[in-house]
Amino acid sequence: MAASVAPSPSVPAALLDSVVSFFHPRRVILFGSLVRGTAVPGSDVDLLLVLTASDRSFVDRIPAFLPSHFPVGVDIFPYTRAELERMKAEGNSFVLAALRDGIAVFRRSA
């Protein structure tokens, strides 16, 4: 399965590689202050991951990957496709904004 990574100065390559290796996502979307251009010293990297499926609940997925060896804070939101579709249908403003304003920094080919 081929994958593509969009070059992004806002997502350190080591971080993106770690996230992709750990979660095997379909897509990784950078969103938040780094995309809006409002980041300040101490701003974190916000990543929304689109997973095909998971045998863990959402809240159990987050602590499974807590990167501590990066020079910036990282917030990871690993949702399955089904969870994202449900939240979009429910009008979840957080998810809708991340998907609307975010930049795909990784996309796995089908």
Averaged pLDDT for residues 61-74: 76
The mean of the pLDDT values for the chain is 86
Residues β-bridged to residue 29:
48, 104
pTM of this structure: 0.85
| Topology classification of domain 3-108 | Beta Polymerase; domain 2 (3.30.460)
Q: What is the mean pLDDT of residues 79-89?
A: 97
- Segment 16-60, tens digit of pLDDT: 898 899 899 999 999 998 888 888 888 888 999 999 999 999 888
Q: How many CB atoms lie within 10 A of CB 28?
A: 27
